[in-house]
Structure 1
């Protein structure tokens, strides 16, 4: 019997129902008499109506399993007879065989494939209404509207005198128009086929019945069932059940006349028995008086499990149509139970009107069937919708026909007017020129290797003041303020004049005048450094003037919102705005933490309701959103500002916007003072800045089109936006197509360059003033006639001074002692002088031959007495004849301050599990004896000065002219390390520096990046799982798993984990050993964390302190506790004062400075360590680049600023090593610039000769 069964979806009823057609009778060879006997057996259960019996003989007759079993004997005999008479099998011939056509069915799957391919067929979606079907088959869906036709044309510019008018000429390709028209005809034919299909079978009488749980209200009034209509009505209802209702889920039948009668008390599930009962009930329908439709509706609307109601009305209802409509509208208010209203062969227009109103009130459909006036069927909802769509398609065809007529009469004018109206409806941005690949996907650049900074922050590290290259910083060691003191003897204030005569007067930055000692060599090197800095600033300006930084400036904050001006004034520049945003998305937003885009005209609309992470997918989606923006309205900047700052989604995630970048071409609608006041209140307690960007359009002052909300010229607009940016601490950027007009970033760099040029000019002025004092300076404009001529070298020399007697020597000695006492009481060096000044090399002293010889003898005798005695030896005879041996009886005193050698330290490669403080106590630069300050600070390196009595001044030692002088911690030392020793020192420092960097990489790896180094053996980890951790919970789970396996298990650390939010949940009651089972169980428990609730930090700490045998507590949280911080400090101090348990705090992605301060103070109070991890920290990359650079540049790359205690100490030692490395390299350069004694200027000896002559005269 299996080959007789059709598809389950094609047969009515349940699996026990079979469709027996004429083909089945032929197979079983059933004769007419057998059919009659079968009909007689069924008379008891089914009415013997002739119409029903004749109906059962047709191909659509439905028979139950019981009825078919009655014919089983006959079928069995027929089947055996058919099998016996079957002829033998003959193998078919394949000669001259041809392939089967595509429409020949060879397999059941092929039938399904062919049906799926018929997507344009009107018969494909039988279960859909016309409205649902047109959603995928309408003219608009196929893009066959007049608007779509216009997009295929090209606008041709007018030639001649009328070029100023609007472009109204369109040019089309003939092939495109023909293809468009052909598709329209195909669509119209498809709609006709759909209408023909709707006019077949029960669909012609009742329309398309939609729904799975259906209630059928049947009019059984006298007007509908009388006059011989009852048989036609019963036949139509039976056909409806067989064709459309047999495959529904639930059915409910109700008839209404004067009274309401239902087949069942409630809806029943569809099966063969229910369908048989429904057919029997239809055949029992009789006339029952009036037409009480209201009672039927009241009853059926109270029935549950109904999603669609079919109302079949053949006469006029007893109630008014308005009463029925009001009742249905109020009853189904808030719900959706559509009424499918059917006028069955009724010519009363009031009935049709009432049913149409009921269908419209319930969002249902209306259908009309009339045997006398078949044209009324076209007024039904399904067919009317299709006819309307046919008219739309026909209108487009008519327009195409009219367009083909060319320029003939008024027809073209009306067509062109209509076309121009359609063109005007298109966005004006469609006709703007576009750059290549404007609508393509973004080409996102790799994130920058450095953190971009504003010029103000950049100059804090690279400015002249930061590099100690201001002129006043360079001249400060050699600048002396004039001294003015009160002299009691003369009762006056006397001003010093010694420096004023010997030095150059220079105006200081505070307006005072100082005496400056000018060193031309120092100033020359300073000017070279200024030149290098100016080149650096030029590169910075060039970098700021390229790519998206030329349009938006530098995006420095981590969380930004871009505000785009989409007012109607910018409609001609929309493509330019989109291209600018494209460059920004590609180049500057990839390395941010979060971003959002808000476009504003009269209203503001955002790309996303909250900040989003700048992944590749999000950036591409944002670009697609920007491409769909259109310009309208004015500039309601305050609405966009409120949308960005008063975002509840961001507040829930505790995500604070760092920077707002306003990209606009005009002044906002609101006054600037209103916006500034709102910004001050909205950003209270936050560091949100507004950066204003003004793009200057060419026709700003004479732009045509929509008037803006406020008018201002370009100067007033720039002043308003500049004020708006500066009030919030932001920056102002102003540009046009030709370049940048004004930029705060570039302005600061230009000011710094002007300072460098000014300092260089002042250096040249100081050197020029020194040159003018030189006797060799040739100045023809000035003649000093009062100056005496120089003494010729051929003149007679002065007589030799007489030899001093004992008495004169004693007098001179007394006078020298008095001078020393005066120098002790009144210091000649002013208080403003710096200790870092490098003392210039003084001339060699000239000593009076008589006096000096005598003094030198006395001084030599004193020195001999003070010198340590040499080693004393005692000779003795040996046993070998006359051989003599010696024995040391007294040894000389050892020399102090011998020359220090460069050490070769060794730091083990294995990482020790200890804090950075303890590790650096063993391996810091001082312990490894690599402190460059100590290597060059021995006693023999001191820059010595001695007082020469004959010259009455203090002069430097003679070896000061041989060794280079360096400044070490404010003291002048002589560098005695040679070049090869400095190179050896640099090799050792580089080796140690690499070891430091590997240690830093180890601290930034695995779980130590989040939790630091766990050095104790019994610890408790407190994990914050409050609602604020929702954005980082997945990362935290991974880090906790890494902590369990990487540190607890590997280092055998006993542990316990406590989760806290609004409540506290420990993993285990006490600390457990790190076995495999415990670690796996901890990992499973950690994976179940769900962020929710508040942050009860104090309760979690109290729970941890209940553990008696605990060495340390690790507290991980992302904010402050719910309770008072002072209360937390007080409670922890009471509990932990005696026990001394260390509490290490971990700030997990927390940007609240007050919360970080609380964690830092808590760890310091409990002798623990503070550790901070945030999303933007990328120290591994900086360390890697530093290792790859081989320390060629000691200033770049710059390591990030770590706030964690372990990382901060190690980073400071790394920076100290880089400083020593740079200092050693600068010391090596001194050997190439220090002059040797034989290379000194000869003028120096001339000055010595002049000094000798003055001494001889005295």
Structure 2
């Protein structure tokens, strides 16, 4: 006991009693089981069966078919999925392998062990007798009714154990002994220190068993404790039974209690006492705890004979009795301990989940890949669906991307196009051209021309990575397989990014080495940030350092101080000692970075250094870099913590680069600090984000090439292809030559209309070449005749071209939607050019009937109509309200109630429609409305008024006041009502655009 008194309060935290057991840090927090499970429960760690099934598979769709009169399930993959049925009958298709299931099994085993340890902790030591003290400032009211020396000694030693084990971790406490002349330890609650703990134990041990009792003493003691405003709760520690006459008095006085009263029954003989203490605790929103000790010497014949005396004095007798863990437990009528029951329920659920995962492991073969049957392509594609934990946490991002990046998974654009591309072929040919003007000969001149292969206009082309030109032809199956594989890879990379931005990795990144030094800046600039750093250090110990072999901590301000002289082995005790050292860290003066680095480098066992700082060092950065280079090479990973100094960030980046480390920039406010390129935030995260951006760029490139291939294929190989007339129907004078050379640029880039025009222009050029005369003189003689024939041919060809274009354009509406979307921008520009003055003369009231948002079906409800499910609330007379079924909550998360029909509710799913495409179309229409409004207003302005503005039509919205003043002077040549109709339509479109944006943000959440 004296040895305990010499130890500090913080050293007693986690210190087991003699013969006791050391508890883990995450087992023994003095909080309720509900709050503890919020941190360590299955839901928090995504280990409930519902969450596990969401990770390893998906629900098997099943619906009731009225025609068949029975439920029918979908057939996914023709039986390729392993299926699992939950206890509620819901069927799940499992999409992961044994590795993922083993990881979940290990997590469940760890959780099960943790819950067992928590239950053991709750039912051991002072928690078994007194429960858990959850407040920080309390007062104990001691009510002792026994006259037995043995029972009184047990009561006192139990209270001393509570003080040593739990009160030593509080902030303030006080004690009051109930008797005729009330005895108080102190008038007010005292702070918890080594001295006060020792004083309290001595005060308890000197309590007088024979002090005169009072029937109202219990009530007086509780009311006296309630008078202290610094308390959070009062604990009534009642030994034996409470006087019957004081029960009702105490009940009445507690109606105006300021603090909750927690009652603890110790060795109560009557069930009425237990019932009363439980009721008054509930009356003040307090907790109730009960315990009965079976006396070893008086009631336990097996422990010692009745006539035997225990060896030693009274103190030895009590110590032996507690060391033997006195027999006892919860008395009759006390009920089950709520805090233990909650953890036990969580433990049972963990065991059930573990049993179901074990069943799955026995049924699933040992294969980490999954064969997905693709119905469209009618072939089997091996798709890696999930990455194992080892894959996700392997090394840094550079190493991880070498094994699981786009190049490693063979999902880059060039790797996808390699199987469907071929080289472009061109050559030089000799053509016959007209003689030069100054030559006397009449022979045709040889003209050398670079031409492409004949098939070039039928295929899309792109530049290869070596700069050469290649043609590609991507099929629907190839594009779909590439898109699926790319999205799977990008999802895996995004999962790693999210993982790197959680817990201690958010600040320190991933700890890769086995023996590390953590250097913490504790200068004056870290005063407001030190608590957050300590919290992150605790997470680092729990999540990463505990899995390493050795570690050490160094704090540096004006001087550098290490936790240990050398790196210490990673054990639970060393982690606890390190955490206690971290809690006592305070801020100092300047930033002596070099001294801390020297201490870390002096340890030959150092594998890596992690340095966290928020500013520049005291020494010259160049001097520090030079000193580091003189030492043996050890990677130094730098963390810029809320550092907005550009020069300091550059120094940290240079330090990590020169030593082979990694640079990390952390900001608590979420803002990106001014860091050095190319890694402004985190080297690991930046590399992964760059890989994601490259993947999206490659996916977009392949998708555009696929769209170009489809358009060319549609033009050349479908029924829309225009048939050429037979050669026999053409006049001989303008018949085509045997081979016609066409440019690939026409087929690759021109629209069908321009393609036809280009083709007939080539025909005209070829026909023109055929009329070269054999002699210059004859050419001059026949010039007029040739011009006449030329005009006739041109008129005939243009007539045929216009007829065929008109015939072809009649089928434009049948083109797939994607072709219209790709040319949306071009079409909108052409519409603006075709906006004639006649359409501006039409009143807006008439024009909007055909061109308004409602007429064009561009309202929000128009785009959401395919997903709308109309339901009618049902009135419940008992509840006096209308209720709606929640069966659609998962798939239809948003409800819309129309003001015209409030009885009908429309459920919609914004994620199931193309809202981004709707935004694009709506923005184009709004621009069209604004253009019409500006032109209408400009046309009505007089020349004198126009000169007051800039050149050209001005924006009505930007010059509303000036335009309205000008119209006032002109007597309103354009009706104000007509202008307002178009303005209201524009505002309505902008509201629809905002609603669409809000729906997209809601769907993402």
Task: Calculate the TM-score normalised by the size of structure 1.
Answer: 0.28
Task: Calculate the TM-score normalised by the size of structure 2.
Answer: 0.34
Q: Which has the higher contact order (CA 8 A, sep 6+)?
A: 2
| Largest Rg, 1 or 2 | 1
